[in-house]
Amino acid sequence: MARRTPRPTATRSHQLEPCHGRCPHCGGPLWTAYHAHRKVTRLDGVWRLTLRIRRCMTRTCPLYRRSYRPEEESGWALPHSEFGLDVIALVGALRFAEHRSVLEIHQTLLARGVQLAEPTVTHLVHRYEELVALRLADATRLRDRLAEEGRVILAIDGLQPDVGHEVLWVVRDCLSGEVLLARSLLSGTQGDLTALLGEVRDALPVPVAGVISDGQSPIGTAVRAVWPGVPHQLCHFHYLREATKPIAEADRHAKVALKKHVRGVRPLERVLEGRGDAEAETIRGYYLAVRAAVTDDRRPPLDAAGLTLHDRLDAIAASIDQVEAKRGAPRRPRAALAPAAARAGGDRPPMGDAERRPSVGARPRHDPGQRCRP
């Protein structure tokens, strides 16, 4: 899309010159041919760069009249880009580390004085992904990194987005955390995996000390064919997940029981619509905290969603009690959250007298035994 507004005016200037004054091929002098100008937007302002372009003027040189640009230019911005590398790095950190949306990233950059359009943020995110991919695929860096460890312990796993789609196979080193190979395959047969692991074996500069994967039989057969005699162990996460299934199920029931205590937050929040006083803003903050605690799903077995929800609701209730105590209101007993989380058997937590009374329009609990009765 064509630019509809002029580019911002440069506030700072800098001149770049090549590091070498002689031709790398013939050794002759490099003469200044012309000066190029470039405007780059960085976090510290808009810079106007003046680049001195040199050329070899020796007619017998194979590099005759080839332009030499300053080496420092690549440290300012990508080719044909008007934004500096620091802006791209900030966009990538906001998108992938803090999980900000494109609109939030755009507002953050505007607040820091970087003038750009909202679609440009998406373009910068793509440039960040390309730089990360090039960094991970750097063979020289990866070889040096693996040489520091002296060995590798491979983790092999396949991810299939949906049934019938290609499977993304990832081979990663557990010691350095580097991804050695990532490729999509139409199938996960023994032959395909053997060829895939063979590429990893041929590219590794260090020996393989062990392999970790899930319990799929084609992976085990391919590992024995490529690395005979290398220990092959199943993933600890799968062991832990199977061993803690009863605990995870109890924790899930506890979270369901706790969520019954905080239902109906949205109708209460709508009562505050149109109010902008400090009390209404404080109550909205509590409502947001409750909704955030309820919707925060943890991944078992390493994280217990029910226990986390109990701790957060208990902290919110304690904060409300402190506010009421400062205002001089009588302290009201809080709901018994701990017994509900401790039972974790799916039973309904203790109810007060007001909760035992049936609400208007409430229907009796359905009896499965009357399913076929007239």
Q: How confident is the model at residue 103 (pLDDT cuts 50, 70, 90)?
A: very high
Read off the pTM: 0.53
Look at residue 16 in the predicted model and tell me its pLDDT: 92
Token pair, residue 203, equals 């590219």
Residue 349 has pLDDT above 50, yes or no: no
DSSP code of residue 75: G
Residue 292 has pLDDT above 90, yes or no: no
Look at residue 163 in the predicted model and tell me its pLDDT: 63
What's the maximum distance between 2 C-alpha atoms anywhere in the chain? 104
Q: Show the CA angle centred on residue 20, arms to residues 15 and 24, nearest 5°.
A: 145
Report the distance separating Cα 293 and Cα 311, nearest Å. 9
Look at residue 368 in the predicted model and tell me its pLDDT: 42
Look at residue 272 in the predicted model and tell me its pLDDT: 79
Residue among 293, 294, 292, 269 nearest 282 (CA): 269
Residue 336 has pLDDT above 50, yes or no: no
* Per-residue model confidence as pLDDT tens digits over 51-97: 999 999 898 998 898 999 999 998 999 988 999 999 999 999 999 88
Helix H or strand E segment including 281: helix 278-295
With H, G, I as helix, E, B as strand and everything else as coil, classify residue 213. strand
Quick check: 52 and 38 in contact, CB under 8 A? no
Task: Tally Cβ neighbours within 10 Å of residue 133.
Answer: 11
User: Over the range 219-249, which residues count as b (16 or more CB within 10 Å of their CB) and which as e?
Assistant: bbebbeebbeeeebeeeeeeeeeeebeeebe
Q: Is 197 exposed, middle or buried (0-12, 13-18, 19+ CB in 10 A)?
A: buried
Residue 340 has pLDDT above 80, yes or no: no
Q: What is the mean pLDDT of the chain?
A: 81
Report the distance separating Cα 142 and Cα 180, nearest Å. 8
Q: Is 175 exposed, middle or buried (0-12, 13-18, 19+ CB in 10 A)?
A: middle
Which residues neighbour 240 within 8 Å (Cβ) at sequence distance 6 or greater?
Answer: 301, 302
Tell me whether strands 208-213 and 179-185 are parallel, antiparallel or unpaired. Answer: unpaired
Quick check: 172 and 155 in contact, CB under 8 A? yes
Average pLDDT over every residue of 238-252? 79
The architecture that CATH gives domain 150-235 is: 2-Layer Sandwich (3.30)
Quick check: 255 and 309 in contact, CB under 8 A? yes
Q: How confident is the model at residue 161 (pLDDT cuts 50, 70, 90)?
A: low
